[in-house]
Chains A and B, each alone.
Chain A
Amino acid sequence: MYFLELIISGLAVGSLYALIAMGFVLIYKGTGVINFAQGEAIMVAAFIAYYLVTLFGFPFWAAVPLTLVASGLLGGITERLVIRPLLGEPVFSVVMITIGLSIFLRSMAGIVFGHHNYVFPSPFPVEPLHIGGIVLSHNHLWSMIISFSLMLLFFFFFKFSRLGLGMRATANDQDTATLMGISIKRVYALTWGISFVVAGLAGVGLANVMVLNVGLAFVAISAFPAVILGGLESIPGAIIGGLTIGILENLAGGYLDQIIGGGVKDVTPFAVLFLVLMIRPYGLFGTKEVERV
């Protein structure tokens, strides 16, 4: 029973990791860049939702779509101002710009939203669900549902829709994609917008579970193992990676913490990641980069 409880809560946390990982993978899939400001995007979305609910009095079910719209806009604006000028430049510089962006967003959030600790008024009843002896909070249930739905949605999006194909083509080879008539600018803008929307969902989800403060942005670092485990270009990989990491963390916390002595819970995902990369250098589901001389 204890074991099952750990698995279930691991899945719940894992679905949040999966959402965060999806954001990373989307941007990588569409633009070939790791967005170090993803955590800050999540944090800003969480704050927007918080202020919509507490300051402006929106009910939760209205605040969420507004937050997603705001996040999407933020993503589009970021892309236009910060990423677009570096079209064609080496990946390193773009990654560095996202690092600069993360610093900027973190401090702006501190200035605009305040440096303190806030608690998000949760719309879900406190009393969790009891399914066959397992305890599951509403918040976790919803994050799992949303993650899985998104996975299906994105799977079909990338495989069958024109825009999805365009994004994959752009990530593969920008020049050829342009030659084929794909508007790189539109692809970039949409990629960042969608990724920030996913970040918005992750933000709302996290705000319900954790204390809300500027430090929320650092949760994204815990999701890195999930991103790499699943492979950088694979959305299903991100989901599976997220769930796996969530479960591993909880199992390590529940069983190993008592034996090896504390903190193993947090280092386990990274240790596992290191081992996996030794065996499969491109993650579990990543595509091997074919190099030609």
Chain B
Amino acid sequence: MPIRSKTFCESYHEDIKLLNTIWSKCWMGLFIVGLLLLPYMTDTYIVYMVNLSCIAVVAAVGLNILTGFTGQISLGHAAFLAIGAYTAAILGEGLGMPFWITLPAGGLVSAFAGILVGIPCLRLKGLYLAMATMSFGVMVEYVLITWKGLTGGERGMYMPEVNISGFVLDTDEKVFYFLVGITALMVIAAKNIVRTRVGRAFIAVRDRDIAAEVMGVDLTGYKVTAFALSSFYAGVAGGMYAYVMGHIHPEHFTLLSSVEYMAMIIIGGLGSILGSIFGAIFIVVVPEVIKLMAQGVETLIPAMQGRYDEEWNIAVFGLLIMLFLIFEPGGLNAIWLRIKTGFKNWPFTY
């Protein structure tokens, strides 16, 4: 019985399997159990942070499909989240539709917007594309605040709670299961897209688009598809956000949010679904963790109480981002892969 070391696949099917060892199946099982028991083991604050992370994960996965896999830089992601959120709010609050209409509708309207942006942007590359998408983001923000009849303008819009045929999700714990379910669905879908023909076409567009076109990959079609897909994810994430917050406002979807999503996928690792998850959790959770640690240290050192400038927490966060990238430009995913291969190859180092 040969000892497994590195990849050891005997068929195409084995190669693209998601969980191909006993160990990975076990870990995944443990993870799922842990996730399901989370609300019973911690307080509501932590559950709420996980809820926010779920939203960020869906958004980040969407952005990674566009930027990490297809190489189209987008600084307008928050705008697509906004479109999804407002669509869900208009349908949910205004027309009283249930979640299984509002969320997909939000995604679809967003996807449509993505196509509208993707088509004019076909010729743009790199930073110019980033600026074009950023301009789109600014324009959407302007429309949201000005078109009061549709969006409530600067008053924002309210959103009712999720209602599953009479069962209202009114606590963070109940919303948690709902969100985790949707997130799992979207992530698995993304993982599947990425390991099929479509995903490979995306990667081809990213790496050498002229060569890809020569080989028969329809550049236009796949670029637009990437935009549409990523916007769909953003739209669903926006809808989820609306349900969690209960009230949305154009200020929740600014350029800074778009930069945050970009940060999630770069820190997490471009071109990797797992990386998106890592990055999303990092950006959402780490600032709070730093805050908790700072408060813990503050209670231990009485001299600091009342004089500690909380701005330090943010400075540390920025510093962390820089240090991470200096030591591992591939992001969290690269670190994860290194740890994994380290364990896989043990006791060999390579």
Contact = CB atoms under 8 A, between A and B. Distances in A.
Partners in one complex: yes
Interface of A: 28, 34, 36, 82, 85-86, 89-90, 92-93, 95-97, 99-108, 110-111, 115, 221, 224-225, 227-228, 232, 261-263, 266-267, 270-271, 273-274, 277-278, 281-283, 286, 289, 291, 293
Given A97-B326, A101-B322, A273 B132 contact: yes
A103 B321 contact: yes
A291 B318 CA distance: 35
Across the A-B interface, give the 8 residue pairs with the lowest CB-CB distance, nearest first.
A104-B318, A100-B321, A103-B318, A107-B315, A270-B135, A93-B329, A107-B314, A96-B266
B208 A293 contact: yes
A277 B121 CA distance: 8
Nearest to B260: A99
Interface string B316-337: 0111111001100111000000
A273 B325 contact: no
B263 A108 contact: no
A243 B126 CA distance: 25
A102 B135 contact: no
B321 A293 contact: no
Contact of B329 (A86, A110, A228): A86
Contact of B319 (A93, A104, A291, A293): A104
B270 to A, nearest CB: 6
Given A104-B319, A108-B315, A277 B270 contact: no
Nearest to A228: B131
Contacts of A95: 266
Contact of B128 (A89, A104, A228): A228
12 contacts: A34-B127, A85-B326, A93-B331, A97-B326, A99-B259, A104-B319, A224-B134, A263-B142, A267-B138, A267-B139, A277-B124, A293-B208
Interface in B264-285: 266-267, 270
A99 B263 contact: yes
Nearest to A90: B329
B138 A89 contact: no
Contact of A100 (B136, B208, B318): B318
Contact of B315 (A28, A111, A273, A282): A111
B312 interface: yes
Interface in B285-334: 309, 311-312, 314-315, 317-322, 325-326, 329-331
Given A92-B266, A99-B263, 14 more contacts: A86-B329, A90-B329, A93-B329, A96-B321, A97-B326, A106-B314, A106-B318, A108-B311, A108-B315, A232-B128, A270-B135, A277-B131, A281-B124, A293-B210
Most buried by B among A86, A95, A103, A289: A103
A30 B134 CA distance: 24
Nearest to A100: B321
A246 B262 CA distance: 29
A107 B318 contact: yes
Contact of A96 (B126, B131, B136, B263): B263
Contacts of B124: 277, 281
Contacts of B325: 86, 93, 96-97, 100
A227 B134 CA distance: 13
A104 B259 CA distance: 15
B326 A273 contact: no
Of A93, A110, A228, chain B has the most CB atoms within 10 Å of the CB of A93
A267 B317 CA distance: 31
B211 interface: yes
Interface in B106-147: 120-121, 123-128, 130-132, 134-136, 138-139, 142, 145-146
Interface in B58-90: none
B322 A97 contact: yes
A97 B259 CA distance: 12
A107 B312 contact: yes
B314 A82 contact: no
A104 B315 contact: yes
Given A96-B266, A293-B208, A101 B318 contact: yes
Interface in B251-265: 255, 259, 262-263
Contacts of B189: none
A271 B140 CA distance: 10
